[in-house]
Amino acid sequence: MSRRDEVLQAAIELLDEVGLDDLTTRRLAARLGVQPGALYRHFTSKQALLDAIVEQLVTLEPPPPATQEGWAEQVSATATVARAGMLAHRDGARLVATMGAPGPSARAGFERLVAVIAAGGAPAEAAMLATDTVFAYVNGFTIEEQARKVTGPSAVPRSERDRQFAAGLGLIIDGIRAALR
Amino acid sequence: MSRRDEVLQAAIELLDEVGLDDLTTRRLAARLGVQPGALYRHFTSKQALLDAIVEQLVTLEPPPPATQEGWAEQVSATATVARAGMLAHRDGARLVATMGAPGPSARAGFERLVAVIAAGGAPAEAAMLATDTVFAYVNGFTIEEQARKVTGPSAVPRSERDRQFAAGLGLIIDGIRAALR
DNA sequence: ACCTGAACACCGTTCAAGT
DNA sequence: ACCTGAACACCGTTCAAGT
């Protein structure tokens, strides 16, 4: 494990403890027992560090089981796994949304879903559109979920949020199904 | 126009000029010809200022034409207007997403859409679910759009983005229609 | 009511110099 | 290769005091 990876790991732990707003280069340096400036040997900027965190969040997703016959189940599995990856760390969805260019893992996930929907019978353009729509929904849902429902006095239980997410996703899948006919 | 409103207006102008990351209390004070501390007579914190900006972004939306017969057209009009409100100012979507509790205007827009879909024949629970799904899509789409497509070398023209947005929204509306039968 | 002056406790980042 | 020491140009916020 390179020193760079140790710094990255410490940053993720700090994120989970204090949240994105308090994830500070100086706090991170203190946790590593090092001066703030020392971080810049491993990351060119704080933004580069955040990008690396996001890449790891998105990479943790295992691919949906490719043995499935139906495209709908694969779309559902991909969306569920993407949401789970963002929920796995504090402020994960906001972090992903704030990011600039999508990393290699994000692009790979996108292409994979396009292929799945195309295999289901959609023309290339329609498959891309459907994929865009699914990810927009997943990101929008999870950002709001994590901002308002995970903690606090009006916390909605996880099982209820899972049901809501799946139901909304079902609406979109039905819409894609209708477009395929 | 109260002094508070003047400060708010100046903040929105500054947002459009420099973006959210450089919207600083000290820059805002300088633009108003005032010491930084003076702002705290009008807003209890920077976050309160940002909340007020969001409330204005969302309030600018006119209600969709209530004369429409079909619920689908009203859903479409509401979503389009919500997106336009966020696109109207730099980093508008990110600002809305970062916000904590939804303001009165956001809640009113939500209730209005629930009523529209319920009038279309959906049970109350299904109408809320559909509304959640539509707004999750709108927010997710617009955040990504504004983060990556509005500016820069790979800028996608507005007309193309409009088409994409409408097509994805159509998928969701088709899904809602299917659930109504 | 609105603002100044001055301070407090922080930020991200750079860079020569050390080991 | 990795880090220290020290600085630079900033932040958000508070609060007595002025008008």
Average the pLDDT over A118-124 and give the result: 96
For B19: left if phi > 0, alpha if psi spans -120 to 50, otherwise beta; the answer is: left
Average the pLDDT over B135-155 and give the result: 89
Does residue A68 carry a pLDDT above 80?
Answer: no
Query: pLDDT per residue over A73-87, tens digit each?
Result: 999 999 999 999 999
Identify the DSSP state of A100: S
pLDDT score of A99? 85
Closest Cβ–Cβ partner in B129, B136, B178 for A174 = B178
Percent of chain A clearing pLDDT 70 (strictly above): 94
Residue B66 contacts A, CB cutoff 8 Å: no
Taking an 8 Å cut-off on Cβ atoms, the answer to whether A129 and B167 are in contact is yes
Percent of chain B clearing pLDDT 90 (strictly above): 86
Closest Cβ–Cβ partner in A98, A100, A136 for B137 = A136
pLDDT score of B68? 55
Q: How far does the CA of A6 sit from the C1' of D4, in Å?
A: 20
The burial class, CB within 10 Å (0-12 / 13-18 / 19+), for A115 is middle
DSSP B86-144: HHTSTTHHHHHHH-SS--HHHHHHHHHHHHHHHHTT--HHHHHHHHHHHHHHHHHHHHH
pLDDT score of A61? 67
Query: pLDDT per residue over A100-114, tens digit each?
Result: 789 999 999 999 999
Taking an 8 Å cut-off on Cβ atoms, the answer to whether A171 and B168 are in contact is no
Q: Are B91 and B15 in contact (CB under 8 A)?
A: yes
pLDDT-derived band at A178 (thresholds 50, 70, 90) equals very high
Alpha carbon of B124: minimum distance to chain A alpha carbons (Å):
14
Mean of the per-residue pLDDT values of chain B: 94
Taking an 8 Å cut-off on Cβ atoms, the answer to whether B143 and A148 are in contact is no
Closest Cβ–Cβ partner in A101, A148, A168 for B136 = A168
Taking an 8 Å cut-off on Cβ atoms, the answer to whether A178 and B173 are in contact is no
Average the pLDDT over B74-99 and give the result: 96
Average the pLDDT over B65-92 and give the result: 90
What tokens does A148 get?
Answer: 């308002």
Q: Where are the alpha helices (DSSP H) in chain A?
A: 3-18, 25-32, 46-59, 71-87, 92-98, 104-119, 124-148, 158-180
Query: pLDDT per residue over B13-69, tens digit each?
Result: 999 999 999 999 999 999 999 999 999 999 999 999 999 999 999 986 666 666 556
pLDDT score of B36? 98
Percent of chain B clearing pLDDT 70 (strictly above): 94
Does residue A157 carry a pLDDT above 60?
Answer: yes
pLDDT score of A153? 75
Residue B174 contacts A, CB cutoff 8 Å: yes
Alpha carbon of B1: minimum distance to chain A alpha carbons (Å):
33
Does residue A180 carry a pLDDT above 70?
Answer: yes
Residues facing strand C, Cβ within 7 A: A 22-27, 36-37, 39-40, 44-47; B 2-4, 32-38, 41-42
Residues of B in contact with A138 (CB under 8 A): 140
Does residue A116 carry a pLDDT above 70?
Answer: yes
